[in-house]
C-alpha cells in the first residue's frame, strides 16, 4: 500500500538565513519560527550552535531557542558542529540535533576545514553526549549529486558516508544536492546506492537546491522510489557560500503544492506558509524565490 503521508523538514530559520549578509534581528527569527509553528509543520530546524566567528548570523542561537514559543508535538532541531556546540544545545533543552558532513573531501575541507574522517572524529563526543541525554541525531550529507571542487560524485561515495552516519546513531540521513546540479535519473541512482548500502528507505530524506531548476523534479524522482521525508525552506531561502551560483533551497510552498497535487498529506497549511514566505521576504527586502508565492500573492 502506498504511503501518502510525507514529512516536511523545514530548514528556513537555520539553513535559509545563515548566509544572509545583513544581520537578521533576533526578534524576526523568533517570529519566523513561531509563524512556521502555526502552519502545522512538525519539524523546524531553528538555528545552529556554531561559533559566531564562523557564522555571525546565528550567533544568537541561545536567545532564539530561549524565546521561541515551543508547541507540543513540534520538534525544533539545531545543527551542532562540535562538542562545544553540543554544550549550547544541551543548555537550550533541545530534543534533536543535526550533524554535518559531505560526500566530497574537497568540500568538507573548504566548509569545515576537515577531512571526512576528521568530521566523524569531531562527531564522536557529540554523539556520545546526545545518546547519554536521549537526544535524537540527524545526519546531513552534502554534495550528493555534485561538488563545486570535485565535480561529479560517485553514488558509492554518498552511500558509504550515509551508512557511516547510520551506524554512528543517526535516525535519519538527509541527502543534499548542495549546488543543485542533479537530475532525476542521477537522484534515483544515488538513492538506490544508499539503499544498497543498507540505509533503510524510511531513514532517507532529500535536501534539494534549485540552482538548475531541477529540485522539484528530483524530489518527485525520490517520491517515486518511496522517499517520504523532504527538506525545504520557506520562500526558498538559503544557498551555499562555498558553491558559486548555488541558489536557495527548494521552497516549502512549492513542495507542498506538488505534494497536494499528488494526493500526499503533510498536515501543513499552505496558505499560512505562503503568508510566512512573504513575511520573511519583506523583512529581507526581496520577493520570495518560489513560483507559488508569486502566483498566489497575499
Q: What is the C-alpha separation between 137 and 114, in angstroms, rounded? A: 21
Share of the chain residues as helix, strand and coil, in percent rounded to the nearest 5: 45, 15, 40
Would you say 289 and 247 are in contact if contact means Cβ atoms under 8 Å apart?
Answer: yes
Q: Is 240 a catalytic residue?
A: yes
Catalytic residue among 143, 147, 170, 240: 240
Task: For the chain, give the longest Cα–Cα distance.
Answer: 49
Would you say 283 and 28 are in contact if contact means Cβ atoms under 8 Å apart?
Answer: yes
Q: What is the C-alpha separation between 57 and 53, in angstroms, rounded? A: 9
Look up residue 242 and give its three cell numbers: 562555498
Q: Using alpha carbons, select from 15, 79, 70, 77 the residue that is nearest to residue 37.
A: 70
Would you say 61 and 45 are in contact if contact means Cβ atoms under 8 Å apart?
Answer: no
Active site positions, annotated = 240
Amino acid at each position: 500500500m502506498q504511503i501518502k503521508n510525507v514529512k516536511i523538514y523545514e530548514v528556513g530559520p537555520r539553513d535559509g538565513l545563515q548566509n544572509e549578509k545583513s544581520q537578521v534581528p533576533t526578534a524576526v527569527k523568533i517570529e519566523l519560527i513561531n509563524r512556521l509553528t502555526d502552519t502545522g509543520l512538525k519539524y523546524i530546524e531553528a538555528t545552529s550552535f556554531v561559533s559566531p566567528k564562523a557564522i555571525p548570523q546565528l550567533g544568537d542561537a541561545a536567545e532564539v531557542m530561549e524565546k521561541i514559543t515551543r508547541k507540543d508535538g513540534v520538534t525544533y532541531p539545531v545543527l551542532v558542529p562540535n562538542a562545544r556546540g553540543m554544550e549550547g544545545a544541551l543548555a537550550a533543552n533541545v530534543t534533536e540535533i543535526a550533524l554535518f558532513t559531505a560526500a566530497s573531501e574537497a568540500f568538507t575541507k573548504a566548509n569545515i576545514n576537515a577531512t571526512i574522517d576528521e568530521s566523524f572524529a569531531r562527531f564522536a563526543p557529540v554523539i556520545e553526549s546526545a545518546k547519554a541525554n536521549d537526544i535524537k541525531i540527524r545526519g546531513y550529507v552534502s554534495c550528493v549529486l555534485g561538488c563545486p571542487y570535485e565535480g561529479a560524485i560517485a553514488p558509492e561515495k554518498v552511500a558509504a558516508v550515509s551508512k557511516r552516519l547510520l551506524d554512528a546513531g543517526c535516525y535519519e540521513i538527509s541527502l543534499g544536492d548542495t549546488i543543485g546540479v542533479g537530475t532525476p535519473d542521477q537522484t534515483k541512482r544515488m538513492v538506490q546506492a544508499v539503499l544498497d548500502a543498507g540505509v533503510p528507505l524510511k531513514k532517507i530524506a532529500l535536501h534539494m537546491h534549485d540552482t538548475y531548476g531541477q529540485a522539484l523534479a528530483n524530489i518527485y524522482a525520490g517520491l517515486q522510489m518511496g522517499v517520504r521525508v523532504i527538506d525545504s525552506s520557506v520562500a526558498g531561502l538559503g544557498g551555499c557560500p562555498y558553491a558559486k551560483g548555488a541558489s536557495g533551497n527548494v521552497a516549502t510552498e512549492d513542495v507542498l503544492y506538488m505534494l497536494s497535487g499528488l494526493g500526499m498529506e503533510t498536515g501543513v497549511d499552505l496558505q499560512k506558509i505562503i503568508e510566512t514566505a512573504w513575511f520573511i521576504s519583506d523583512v529581507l527586502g526581496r520577493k520570495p524565490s518560489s513560483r507559488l508565492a508569486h502566483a498566489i500573492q497575499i
